[in-house]
Amino acid sequence: MPQIITPDICDAHPEVRALDPLFINFGGREAFCGPIRTVKCFEDNSLVKQAVAEPGEGAVLVVDAGGSQRCAMLGDMLAEQAAGNGWSGVIMYGCVRDVDVLAETDLGIQALGAHPRKSEKRGEGQRDIPVTFAGVTLSPGEWLYADNNGILVADERLPLE
């Protein structure tokens, strides 16, 4: 896989959209990319759990958790399941927990912060719809590129050197 360096991608592809710099890197993979799959949910990670149980096939799970700072929407068990099922990464517009374990997990994980409380499980939310946060709309099938410099979205897979 080519190296993901988002400043270089921005220089070579000025049409990419950059998310506002709100996210912290928590995962064991500092740089990752893949086609986008989405979940929209609020303080209920049932659909996140459902998604990471499926084959990831190198995709990035983009979760619009409404920016909630009141609970974690991803922890060590779901992250390890995502890594084991071939997901490239998770972008969480919300919080994560078990951060010491997440840092050892072979998965890209960027989130707004950490919170020790788990979320509710009511089965609420939507999947595979466009989501908007951090100044960008992210749609299933678009490509996401992330590293310690930031998160980029492209309409399609970019030819990286």
Q: Is 97 annotated as a binding residue?
A: yes
Q: Is 92 annotated as a binding residue?
A: no
75 is known to lie in a ligand binding site: yes
Pick the closest to residue 160 from 34, 56, 18 (CA basis).
34
Please calculate the CA angle 116-121-124 and round it to the nearest 5 degrees. Answer: 125
78 annotated to a ligand binding site:
yes
The β-bridge relationship of strands 143-147 and 89-96 is unpaired
CA pseudo-torsion sign 130, 125, 77, 104: positive
DSSP 53: T
Characterize the bridge pairing of strands 143-147 and 32-40: antiparallel
User: Binding site annotation covers 147?
Assistant: no
* 76 annotated as belonging to a binding site for a ligand: yes
Q: Are 117 and 71 in contact (CB under 8 A)?
A: yes
Annotated binding residues for substrate, written as ranges, equal: 75-78, 97
In the annotated binding site, the residues are: 75-78, 97-98
Known binding site for Mg(2+): residues?
A: 98
